[in-house]
Amino acid sequence: MKAQLLEKFKEIYGDNGGICAYFAPGRVNLIGEHTDYNGGHVFPCALTLGTYGIARKREDKRLRFFSLNFENLGVIESDLNDLTPYKEAGWTNYPKGVMWAFEERGYKLSCGLDVLIYGNIPNGSGLSSSASLEVLIGLMLKDMFGFDVSMIDIALIGQYSENNYNGCNCGIMDQFASAMGKKDHAIFLDANTLKYEYAPVVLEDAKIVIVNSKVKHSLVDSAYNDRRNECETALKELQEVIDIQTLGDLTEELFEANKDAIKSEIRQKRAKHAVYENQRTLKAVQALKDNDVELFGKLMNASHVSLRDDYEVSCDEIDILVNLAWETEGVIGSRITGGGFGGCTVSIVKNDAVDSFVATLGAQYREKVGHEAEFYIVDIGQGAHVL
């Protein structure tokens, strides 16, 4: 892959040395959905799919970007002296946002860059292609300009740029998983303190399978921000009656005892999800430590029900995939993964059932929805790195 991308880079920008190469992965979240911005825990892992970047410093302040995923757009130019986002800049608003965020923190870029990008995360699949692009650029800047930033700083800078430059109020999970992923491990992250632990994911007789519904509903960003606001309001209402900093501070019992402080039914449902999902995540990580994959699967199923009914971030196509999975022999657990309103499901499937899982879900999904789903057997990969 690297050799091919280097060739392409030279073809577009010419060959005069100083070329650097990087990779940052996408992620799949096993459990702990919509908990990161609620002071709770998440349990994602980095994929081997992700975003590649090749770059070289320039002598001036120009920025030139080319993506092999959007070849028809050609080279998109910009300038370090003008890093304001604008719609026509398209995908380059992500790398520019990260550059802007570095500069905001006092890390000045002394010159521009020529950049080539290629990503193999399916577009709009909810497997964090944008976070992987942000982390990729963060690593590129750290390495090429010698900035003294940690990989966790790179994740935070990526999130900051997405929140303040690209307008999605996302939590830290995706960037953290991309920057800090570890091969064959999931990351048990307390999104409130950023304390984390790697948990080996050794499933002897099962595989993690992602199914891409290949739908992305348009309300993704706005509905995401709405959920966040609803949870913030619910937290304020709870704080009138109980001393907590985040919804993640609550157990199920404490929530039930105080939930009437939340004055709308919808907000009560949202907060309930945040609290219960966080507790489910703690239980799931313990189950994995105890080698109790069956319990892990049951908690995944409960996570889906809660995301569907209380948080209301699922959609028909995803529910069809999850229901089909639940009905299929050899499926230990299945749920929506990521922000929602389309994208992917994640399932744990017994080794000897994987082929029939793919065949059955593939055929039935096509019949019910009218287009193909895509299947990926997960390999848990390493976090962002220099190539």
Residue numbers annotated as active site: 174
- Please give the DSSP secondary-structure letter assigned to residue 31: S
Near ligand GLA by CB under 6 A: residue from 40, 122, 248, 338 = 338
**Closest residue by Cα to residue 173 from 42, 275, 51, 283:** 42
Near ligand GLA by CB under 6 A: residue from 171, 181, 297, 381 = 171
Q: Is 31 in the site for ligand GLA (CB under 6 A)?
A: no
Which two three-digit tokens encode residue 48?
Answer: 């081997």
- By beta-carbon proximity to ligand GLA, the closer residue of 29 and 268 is 29
Q: Is 122 in the site for ligand GLA (CB under 6 A)?
A: no
C-alpha 381 chain-centroid distance:
14
Binding-residue total with ligand GLA (CB under 6 A): 11
Near ligand GLA by CB under 6 A: residue from 9, 23, 25, 34 = 34
- By beta-carbon proximity to ligand GLA, the closer residue of 55 and 186 is 186
- By beta-carbon proximity to ligand GLA, the closer residue of 120 and 163 is 163
The Cα 28–Cα 51 span in angstroms is 15
**Close Cβ partners of 23 (under 8 Å, ≥ 6 residues apart):** 50, 51, 52, 53, 136, 384, 385, 387
Tell me the backbone φ, ψ of residue 383, rounded to 5 degrees: -65, 180
Near ligand GLA by CB under 6 A: residue from 339, 342, 381, 383 = 339
The Cα 260–Cα 265 span in angstroms is 9
Per-position DSSP letters for 260-271, written without gaps between them = GGS-SHHHHHHH
Q: Is 181 in the site for ligand GLA (CB under 6 A)?
A: no
Q: Which stretch binds ligand GLA (CB under 6 A): 29-37, 147-155, 290-298, 372-380?
A: 29-37
**Closest residue by Cα to residue 10 from 53, 54, 67:** 54
Q: Is 277 in the site for ligand GLA (CB under 6 A)?
A: no
In 10 A of CB 62, how many CB atoms? 15
Near ligand GLA by CB under 6 A: residue from 9, 13, 28, 36 = 36
Query: Could you identify the residue written with the tokens 């992620």?
Result: 27
Q: Is 174 in the site for ligand GLA (CB under 6 A)?
A: yes
- Taking the complex as a whole, the smallest distance from the CB of residue 319 to ligand GLA amounts, in Å, to 17
- Taking the complex as a whole, the smallest distance from the CB of residue 206 to ligand GLA amounts, in Å, to 23
Q: Is 39 in the site for ligand GLA (CB under 6 A)?
A: no
- Please give the DSSP secondary-structure letter assigned to residue 290: T
Residues of the shown chain interacting with ligand GLA in the complex, contacts defined by CB under 6 A: 29, 33-34, 36-37, 170-171, 173-174, 338-339
